Amino acid sequence: MTARLEDVELRVVDGVEGMSGDLGRLFVVVGVFDGLHRGHAYLLEHLRTEADRRRARPSVITFDHHPDEVLVGAAPPLLCDPAERLERLAATGVEVAVIQPFNAEVRRIEYDDFVRMIADRVELAGFLMTPDAAFGHERRGTPETLSELGGRMGFDVVVVAPFEIGGQTVRSSDIRAAIADGDLAAAERLLGRPYAVTGSVTAHGMMTFPMPVALPSSGLYEASISGRPVSAVVASDTTLTLRGAGVPEPGTGVRLEFR
């Protein structure tokens, strides 16, 4: 499978087990990448740079749903539609995206076994990480343990400081908090673009979503669909209803951008 945006092709792979030698030499970052916010963009810029230095393809290993659904029993609401996430990864220059199913079995995989699963299938140039990044069972795959493993297996680990705005690290949780407070200007500042949700229009202008999405607190918000202005009414029960001449027919799939 491939995703394309602005003539950038992204090879999409179904899980680590679907990786193969024809992908080439890969330099990898592991993460959820929900929202593809400014901190992610900064990290992916470093990914491209470090991959180029190693004559490798910039690659992302992410997950089919948020790991917290398995780890703590509930996933936070999405900041970005999964299909849009792939398009935005392509737009940053990522060449390979591995969508790893996350379940109880995957949760128990030790970090070194996970790395060997990758290295057994492709030429692994290394990993990009932030200081607090970790993966594998009980988050034992830290920059320190990965560096030690890389010394034995022959791959690099590059650690970059997280992206900050005003001395604060940009995190998806902070964007969700801003949206929940109705502070869409703060969410836009952290995302680097207006916040948007993707779903379908049903009868009476209501929107439904295939997965839980982050919605602002109850109130009336100005928004747009394909450039056409609409009003978005969020009720106290978190239902969202569209109003205005720009509301499409029921059954239409839309991307609603808050203004």
pLDDT, position 1: 54
Where residue 49 falls (left for φ over 0; alpha for ψ -120 to 50; beta otherwise) is alpha
pLDDT, position 172: 96
With contact defined as beta carbons under 8 Å apart, do 133 and 47 qualify? no
Distances (CA, A) of 10 to 87, 206, 253: 8, 33, 24
Read off the pLDDT of residues 236-248 as tens digits, 9 standing for 90 and up.
888 999 999 999 9
Mean pLDDT confidence for 165-169: 92
Read off the pLDDT of residues 53-71 as tens digits, 9 standing for 90 and up.
999 999 999 999 899 999 9
pLDDT, position 65: 87
CA distance 114 to 140: 11
Mean pLDDT confidence for 249-256: 95
- Percent of the chain clearing pLDDT 90 (strictly above): 89
CA distance 156 to 24: 16
DSSP secondary structure letters along 212-258: -B--PSSEEEEEEETTEEEEEEE-TTS-EEEESTT---TT-EEEEEE
Instruction: Determine phi and psi for 214, rounding to 5 degrees.
Output: -75, 125
pLDDT, position 108: 96
pLDDT at residue 5 tops 50: no
pLDDT at residue 78 tops 90: yes
Read off the pLDDT of residues 176-232 as tens digits, 9 standing for 90 and up.
999 999 999 999 999 999 999 999 999 999 999 998 999 999 999 999 999 999 999
**pLDDT, the chain, mean:** 94
At 119, the pLDDT band (50, 70, 90 cuts) reads very high
Mean pLDDT confidence for 104-118: 97
Model's pTM, two decimal places?
A: 0.92
Radius of gyration of the chain (CA): 19
Mean pLDDT confidence for 125-146: 97
Q: How many CB atoms lie within 10 A of CB 216?
A: 21
